[in-house]
Structures are given as structure tokens and as C-alpha cells.
Amino acid sequence: MRQTASKRVLVTGGAGFLGSHLCERLLAEGCEVLCVDNYFTGSRSNVAHLLDHPRFETMRHDVTFPLYVEVDEIYNLACPASPVHYQHDPVQTTKTSVLGAINMLGLAKRLKARILQASTSEVYGDPFVHPQPEGYWGHVNPIGPRACYDEGKRCAETLFFDYHRQHGLEIKVVRIFNTYGPRMHPNDGRVVSNFIMQALRGEPITIYGDGSQTRSFCYVDDLIDGFLALMASPAAVTGPINIGNPGEFTIRELAETVIALTGSRSRLVHRPLPRDDPKQRRPDIAAAREVLGWQPKVPLEQGLKRTIAHFDTLLGGRALRAAAE
């Protein structure tokens, strides 16, 4: 087997928010990286700073079609992850999760390569168990507007474990909880990017429901640490394993923190809660701590400051300067 320094790694969805950070870290680890993306939600600008790297390569490809490349490891991150994007074409979202998993598992089987699936906390749905441990089977509406993503990811997990049992494939399944940081899409409709962009523009901050619903927010650097730890773990460690920050905040608390950090004069406005929106979400990360020796390090306020600075740069760096004057 080749040494880690020359390992060739495929990252599907590599030009996305998480994928671009993963590509960056893998290059820093000495790997050769093949970034595959169809650029539906990913962006060339996310990997522009990597294009001249001698061990980095990009390929435009849709994972719903087979891919024939030679690699040692595969990270399957390809799938729109925000409701705005995955509900735009729900049939394609399901196909990306299910056919994408089948195609990447087929590639891993042929190459005898280890493969990691980026699953999601959405497999738990609107949970009756709190916080959510990996053994909880979830409470998901299979015919609702979020089902294309929730059930697509659940089916992908099924496929991964069936390939593992039937073909002896080395799999890793990570369930990602809310993650934020630089390179988030500014218009992806997620709560962190929504609040920051609205605050920087001085617009009303939109809270769906009464703001008492809770979320846990993991900074992207911590999440990528979890990815790498899981991929490097012994073959017997398949997951699924939760990776997220167990700190729990109400949506209102998040909005008030963003307003304070940006110095914005934005006010809070309330809108009806979307259908099937989870009321609470918090990971039980006991397994990640015990099996991987992983836990998040970046506090919410620190991570938000870095993310706010990124979005302010996208807006020309004017908003934070204006707030300081």
C-alpha cells in the first residue's frame, strides 16, 4: 500500500463549502487530490486558490453517472445540503444521494478503496430523542418537502452498509450536524448565512417560528478534523458517527449574537415555521470522543467572527467598517 504522503484521494462535491476545506486539508497532509463537482451548488471560486497546486486536479462531473478514475480513498460529499438548493429539484437531489452512492460504492469496490459517506443529522428528522445518539432511528416524514434529502441520505447509508456486509468494502459513515464557516454560499438559506448577510446589509433578520427551536453549530475546521480522524480509524470503525458541536443555542440567541458581533441595527422579524422543520437538534458525540478522540475546539463566537469577516469581504468590506464608525 502506498504511503500517506502519496495517497490519491477523490473528493466528490469538492468545490462546495465542506469539500473545498477538505481538499485544502488533504493537500496539507501531502495527498494528491482529485476534486469532482458539477458546480450546481459548488463554486470554482472555492478552490481557485488551489488550482496551481501540483497535487490538485479538478473534474466537472455529476455523480449520478459512473466515474472511472484511479484513487486510493474516496470522500463522497456530493449533494446539495441546504433546503433552498435541495428542494429546487427534489428528484435530482434524491438521485444524487442514491445513484451517487451506488456509483461511488461501485468505484470503491473495483479499486478496493476505503470510502467515506457524508451523511447528515437530518436522518434523525424531527427527533423524539434529545440529544441524538447514533442508535436513534429517527422520526422522518418520508413524503414531506424535506424527504428528498432526508430519505436520500438514509438510503445512501443503507447502501453503504449493504456494500460493507455483502462485499467487505471498507466504509466510513459520518453524520454531519449544522456546520458553518467561510465559503458558505451566501444565499443558501441556512440560518447562519441568512443571519450574517441580513445583519451586514442592515436588513431585518428573519426568524422562522418563535425562535425557541434549537440548533448546534460546528465550525468547519473542527468538522474536517472529524472527517480525517474517521477516515484514518481502524477498518472495524464503520460509523455511523455523529460529528458536530454539542453546544445548543436557540435560533433567537444566534440572531442576537450575530447582531452584537456585526454591530448591526437589524431588527428581528418572525415568519411561520416551515413544514417538518426540526424543533431541536443536538449531537450526542460520546462515540466520536471515545472512538476517534475527537471533539470540537472552536467556540461559537470565535467561529462566527471568522465567518462574518468572510461574508463582509464578499460585500466589499464596507459593512463592518460602517458599523464601527
149 flagged as catalytic: yes
With a CB cutoff of 8 Å and minimum separation 6, the contacts of 293 are: 229
Active-site pick, 149, 163, 180, 219: 149
d(CA 159, CA 26): 26
Distances (CA, A) of 118 to 45, 180, 196, 320: 22, 15, 26, 34
Element holding 314 (H helix, E strand): helix 300-314
Task: For cell 464578499, name the residue.
Answer: 314
d(CA 232, CA 58): 24
The CA-CA-CA angle for residues 202, 203, 208, to 5°, reads 135
d(CA 83, CA 319): 27
d(CA 142, CA 209): 23
C-alpha cell at 97: 444521494
**Residues designated as active site:** 149
